[in-house]
């Protein structure tokens, strides 16, 4: 097909990036997909064979070469290291990986007159919010360096819009899970962490009392709305929460997964972390603008992910070889084997 439009996805080997690329290739033949990933948190097996793939880091890689090689119409910037709890101990890495890389993407979008930049931020920008309910109009007040980095990215993108005419849409997803998630990283994605622990005959771990509440988001429900964030005129220059609406405590989420697995599983409570106690977003804006529909219950989503996870190869777990700060480090991370496995 001639005159195809081209979509660039950063983080294309991760959960959100790979699944969106799959969907576009299977459902929107009028688009080409170009993908960038350094494979530090995603896997090449996740990348659809029809993606024009570049293995590059965004902090110091030659991303300008990618933009020069293709006429990019839309950019999805998903690449990030989303470890809120760990971010106070890897500050410099956090800001390089999340803020500096985003600045480079914004520069290229401006230079090459990209039609729209779609940036995935996070509910972490809200901090504690107003009683745990997060609305897009609230003042942001993040409580960890990850949330600070993402909020800074949001502000920079909006400035780029005001000063350079960059069209943007900022999406704030939350607790996304599903098929193709990296469940080998011990610092993020609690549902995947539990699956990895069980598959390796380890007890499942919960920080604190487990009364923290979240709304988990099954990736399949968010894919088409993410596509709409690029192509719908009404999504221009909008900030939108996107994802699940079912509030559940961490303790009850763990019980649900154990029910899906069908076994009586040992659970170990660890010391509490510095974290938001309750994080529940409003979602009406995603319905009105992006056409979001909550289709998949958490039980059904966990069932699909677990059936997939059981079939995955057992890779070595990613462990940081050295933290930037040890002071104040939680005991469950401080005493671990200091070896990076990839």
> Annotated active-site positions, please?
146
Angle, in degrees to the nearest 10, between helices 190-199 and 298-309? 40
- SS3 for the chain is CCCCEEEEEECCCCHHHHHHHHHHHHHCCCEEEEEEECCCCCCHHHCCCCCEEEECCCCCCCHHHHHHHCCCCEEEECCCCCCCCCHHHCHHHHHHHHHHHHHHHHHHHHHCCCCEEEEECCHHHHCCCECCEECCCCCCCCCCHHHHHHHHHHHHHHHHHHHHCCCEEEEEECCEECCCCCCCECCCCHHHHHHHHHHCCCCEEEECCCCCEEECEEHHHHHHHHHHHHHCHHHCCEEEEECCCCEEEHHHHHHHHHHHHCCCCCEEEECCCCCCCEEEECCHHHHHHHCCCCCCCHHHHHHHHHHHHCCCCCCCCECCCCCCCCCCCCHHHHCCCCCCCC
* Those residues with Cβ within 8 angstroms of residue 193's Cβ, 6 or more apart along the chain or in another chain: 183, 185, 186, 205
| Nearest partner of 75 among 198, 202, 229, 217, judged by Cα | 229
CB atoms < 10 A from the CB of 138, how many?
14
């Amino acid at each position: 097909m001639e005159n195809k439009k081209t979509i660039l996805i950063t983080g294309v080997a991760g959960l959100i990036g790979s699944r969106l690329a799959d969907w576009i290739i299977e459902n929107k033949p009028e688009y080409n997909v170009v993908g960038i990933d350094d494979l530090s948190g995603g896997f090449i097996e996740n990348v659809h064979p029809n993606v024009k793939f570049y293995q590059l880091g965004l902090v110091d890689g030659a991303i300008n070469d990618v933009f020069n090689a293709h006429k990019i119409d839309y950019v999805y910037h998903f690449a990030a290291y989303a470890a809120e709890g760990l971010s106070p101990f890897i500050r410099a890495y956090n800001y390089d990986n999340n803020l500096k890389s985003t600045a480079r993407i914004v520069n290229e979008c401006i230079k090459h007159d990209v039609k729209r930049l779609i940036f995935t931020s996070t509910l972490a920008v809200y901090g504690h919010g107003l009683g745990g309910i997060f609305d897009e109009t609230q003042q942001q007040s993040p409580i960890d360096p990850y949330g600070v980095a993402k909020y800074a990215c949001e502000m920079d993108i909006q400035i780029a819009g005001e000063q350079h005419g960059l069209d943007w849409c900022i999406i704030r997803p939350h607790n996304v899970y599903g098929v193709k998630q990296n469940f080998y990283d011990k610092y993020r994605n609690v549902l995947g962490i539990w699956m990895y622990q069980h598959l390796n005959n380890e007890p499942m771990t919960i920080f604190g009392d487990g009364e923290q509440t979240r709304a988990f988001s099954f990736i399949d429900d968010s894919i088409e709305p993410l596509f709409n964030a690029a192509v719908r005129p009404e999504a221009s220059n909008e900030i939108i929460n996107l994802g699940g609406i079912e509030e559940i405590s961490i303790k009850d989420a763990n019980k649900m997964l154990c029910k899906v697995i069908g076994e009586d599983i040992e659970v170990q409570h660890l010391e509490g972390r510095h974290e938001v106690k309750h994080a529940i977003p409003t979602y009406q804006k995603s319905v009105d603008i992006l056409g979001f529909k909550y289709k998949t219950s958490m039980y059904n989503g966990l069932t699909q992910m677990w059936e997939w996870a059981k079939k995955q190869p057992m890779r070595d777990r990613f462990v940081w070889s050295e933290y930037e700060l040890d002071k104040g480090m939680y005991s469950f991370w401080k005493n671990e084997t200091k070896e990076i496995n990839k």
